[in-house]
């Protein structure tokens, strides 16, 4: 993956989704060659600043979700978010209004203390909620 994103949410989401290399735009041609060769050999390559982020994330305590108490409908919607469904797609699949879906998504993110849908999906997967 070659990106300008260095934020933890994007980094962890990419790595959780199966990225084998994570390089930041502006990386030298030599470092890109090293990254490509590493992946070709079956290894993983992380830019140094991304490696720090990934290690810090591994060392951070997992969120305590015991107080999250998601409803059955929220779990159902969270599963669809994890599958990559958009709000309009979720509304259509569950026969709900778009406004209702947005409310559920906002409640899910608040309960999981997630900043966005990607982070909510990562939290759900890592904690075994879905």
pLDDT digits (tens, 9 = 90+) for 81-120: 999 999 999 999 999 999 999 999 999 999 988 888 888 8
Confidence of residue 80 (pLDDT cuts 50, 70, 90): very high
Domain assignments of the chain as residue spans, ordered by start: 2-59, 72-127
Two structure tokens written together for 11:
């980094």
The secondary structure of the chain, three-state, reads CEECCCCHHHHHHHHHCCCCEEEECCCCHHHHHHHHHHHHCCCCEECHHHHHHHHHHHHCCCCCCCCCCCCHHHHHHHHHHHCCCCHHHHHHHHCCCHHHHHHHHHHHHHHHCCCCHHHHHHHHHHHCCC
Confidence of residue 76 (pLDDT cuts 50, 70, 90): very high
Kindly tell me if the per-residue pLDDT of 66 is higher than 90.
no
Question: Which residue from 96, 16, 112 is spatially nearest to 87, judged by alpha carbons?
Answer: 96
**Average pLDDT over all residues of the chain:** 86
Q: Architecture of 72-127 per CATH?
A: Orthogonal Bundle (1.10)
Q: Do domains 2-59 and 72-127 have the same CATH topology?
A: no
For residue range 19-60, what is the model confidence (pLDDT) as tens digits? 888 899 998 999 999 999 988 988 889 888 888 877 777 766
Q: Architecture of 2-59 per CATH?
A: 3-Layer(aba) Sandwich (3.40)
């Amino acid at each position: 993956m070659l990106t300008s994103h260095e934020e933890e949410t994007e980094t962890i989401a990419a790595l959780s989704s199966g990225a084998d290399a994570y390089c930041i735009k502006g990386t030298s041609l030599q470092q890109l060659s090293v990254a490509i060769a590493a992946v070709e050999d079956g290894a993983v390559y992380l830019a140094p600043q991304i490696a720090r982020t990934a290690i810090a994330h591994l060392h951070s305590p997992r969120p305590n979700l015991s107080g999250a108490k998601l409803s059955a409908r929220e779990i159902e919607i969270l599963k669809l978010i994890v599958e990559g469904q958009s709000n309009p797609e979720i509304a259509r699949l569950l026969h709900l209004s778009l406004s209702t879906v947005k409310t559920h998504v906002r409640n899910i993110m608040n309960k999981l203390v997630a900043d966005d849908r990607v982070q909510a999906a990562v939290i759900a997967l890592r904690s075994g909620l879905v």
